[in-house]
Amino acid sequence: MKIAELSRRSGVPVPTIKYYLRENLLRPGELTSPNQASYGEHHLQRLRLVRALIDLGNVPVAKVREVLESLDSPNLDLHDRIGHVNRAITPSRPLSAGDVARSAAREQVSDLVEQRGWIVEPDAPALNALVEAIAAIRSLGQDQLVANLGAYADAVQVFTDLEIAAVTGSSDPDRIAESVIIGTILCESVIAALRLIAQEDASARRLRATV
Amino acid sequence: MKIAELSRRSGVPVPTIKYYLRENLLRPGELTSPNQASYGEHHLQRLRLVRALIDLGNVPVAKVREVLESLDSPNLDLHDRIGHVNRAITPSRPLSAGDVARSAAREQVSDLVEQRGWIVEPDAPALNALVEAIAAIRSLGQDQLVANLGAYADAVQVFTDLEIAAVTGSSDPDRIAESVIIGTILCESVIAALRLIAQEDASARRLRATV
């Protein structure tokens, strides 16, 4: 298909597609004349993946390129590819938590990891992101929100098990890697939206009458 | 305390605090001389809340102001205040999903809401965000990731119940509203980080050996 059709089918404007081509987020099409290229279904698929990473995953363009390079790298094992994705989408900003709250949070997280026997690199950015989020909550005097971290971890485990069952149906490592990327980023949006809906329902049931 | 101490205790640079004051995200301190103001513990608390909304919730400054106005509005009932927060933090961008995928997703979401008997406004942005996320996943050929939406909803319900138990311990509606805002936004970061850690563990256990 020509770039105009790729644009129409993906909903991505032509100038944006050209930008992604220049940034190497999308492989060049096959040249059919000096000024025209033809694109296939795999371009459409990749374009949707790029949009999902940028729009839903809030992944910066440079990181999207890294993620795609890991995805396309046949020499990297699947565990490492997944690790690259996880690292690319983990926020790394320290928050304005107090030192006391942060050290309490750090202890809470290391206790949790130890109790669960989680195999996780000590420098995994997600560990730090968890510490920062808990520390921020504690600094705001809302310790009760994270008092039962184990129950959160149990519920999260449900998601992880569902996703693993869904992605390991295929025997093709490339296909599994792509599923994991999509699952990691897009299922987060699914969970976040479900949570807001469940909260609206709970609020309507419990609070509407009480105030 | 002076602005320098507020900065030191919050970890927020003085120019940023001044920006928040100009943008009405933070109430003015009490003037102690024509050029100097004094700030209290409530300023520190509010400053941490603003940072949490901006840094962890990715809420734009204009929306932060709206959220804080709802929080400070004694005439609004708690359900409405929570609704304002939910709307402020729900992403509204349509994604590059195909029409077939989007209409399948819409049906899936309305079935779910009906089965659960969820009380949710038909125009709640979270419903649309859920449709877009599912449509994006389906457009990428990963329908299996969202085949079991009910199981996701069950796990999400665990979070919602935990949070409700945590926030309704207080009888002060202002305090509850603040807890809900913090819980909605910061617990999302907690869940996201826990999910990445659980995935890294699952990946280490299951995939490391298979590739």
Tens digit of each residue's pLDDT (9 = 90 or more) over B200-211: 888 888 766 544
Mean pLDDT, residues A58-69: 84
Checking if the pLDDT of B168 tops 90, the result is: no
Rounded CA separation A69/A101 (Å): 38
Cβ contacts of A42 on chain B, cutoff 8 Å: none
What is the structure's pLDDT at A125?
Answer: 86
Give the H/E segment covering residue B42.
helix B41-51
Residue B211: predicted pLDDT: 42
Within A1-157, strands assigned E span 30-33, 36-38
Which of A77, A120, A129 lies nearest to residue B200, judging by beta carbons? A120
Q: Is residue B197 predicted with pLDDT exceeding 60?
A: yes
Which residue did the predictor score with more confidence, A15 or A87?
A15
Nearest to B183 among A145, A149, A163 (CB): A145
| A154 vs B contacts (CB less than 8 Å) | 158
Distance from CA of A23 to the nearest CA of B (A): 19
Degrees (nearest 5) of the Cα angle B60, B62, B63? 65
Who has greater pLDDT, A159 or B107?
Answer: B107
Q: Is the pLDDT of residue B118 over 90?
A: yes
CB < 8 Å to A51, chain B: 95-96, 136
CA distance A96 to chain B (A): 5
Name the nearest CA neighbour of B194 among A115, A79, A130. Answer: A130
Query: Which range among B13-17, B68-72, B105-109 shows the weakest confidence by mean pLDDT?
Result: B68-72
User: How long a stretch of residues is chain B?
Assistant: 211
Of B39-43, B80-84, B118-122, B170-174, the least confident: B170-174
Stretch A60-88: mean pLDDT: 80
pLDDT for A211: 43
Among A143, A190, A210, most B C-beta atoms within 10 A, so best to mutate, is A190
pLDDT above 80 for B8: yes
Contact B166, A138 (CB under 8 A): no
Task: Give per-residue pLDDT as tens, B72-87.
Answer: 877 777 778 778 777 7
Cα–Cα distance for residue pair A25/A49, rounded to 1 Å = 10
User: Cα separations (Å) of B196 from A41, A182, B207?
Assistant: 30, 13, 15
Task: Give A8 or A182, the one with higher predicted confidence.
Answer: A8
Q: Which residues of B touch A91 (CB under 8 A)?
A: 55-56, 189
Whether the pLDDT of residue A80 is over 70: the answer is yes
Smallest CA–CA distance, residue B69 to chain A, in Å, is 18
CB-closest option in B140, B183, B193 to A45 = B140
pLDDT above 60 for A209: no
Please count the CA atoms within 13 angstroms of the CA of B123 that sit on its side-chain side.
0
Give chain A's mean pLDDT: 85
The token duo for A141 is 């005097």
CA distance A38 to chain B (A): 20
Distance CA B76, CA A173 (A): 53
Selected for mutation to probe chain B from A78, A86, A156 (highest B CB count within 10 Å) is A156
CB pairs under 8 A between A and B: 335
Contact (Cβ atoms closer than 8 angstroms) between residue A108 and residue B193: no
Predicted confidence at residue A117, as pLDDT, reads: 92
Q: If you search the block for the tokens 């949790």, which residue do you land on?
A: A112
The predicted pLDDT at position A118 comes to 93
From A94, A127, A195, residue closest to B159, measured CB to CB: A195
Q: What is the DSSP letter of A26?
A: S
pLDDT of residue B153: 92
Q: What is the mean pLDDT of residues A131-139?
A: 88
| CA atoms of A170 and A166, how far apart (whole Å) | 9
In the predicted structure, residue A144 carries a pLDDT above the cut 50 = yes
The pLDDT-based confidence of B19 (bands split at 50, 70, 90) is: very high
Q: B85 CA to chain A: closest CA distance, Å?
A: 10
Chain A residues in contact with B201 (beta carbon < 8 A): 116, 118-120
Between B188 and B4, the more confident residue is B4
Asked whether residue B139 carries a pLDDT value surpassing 50, the answer given is yes
pLDDT of amino acid A110: 95
B60 Cα to chain A: minimum distance (Å): 14
Top-confidence residue, A31 or A164: A31
Which residues of chain A lie closer than 8 angstroms to B47, CB-CB?
A: 96
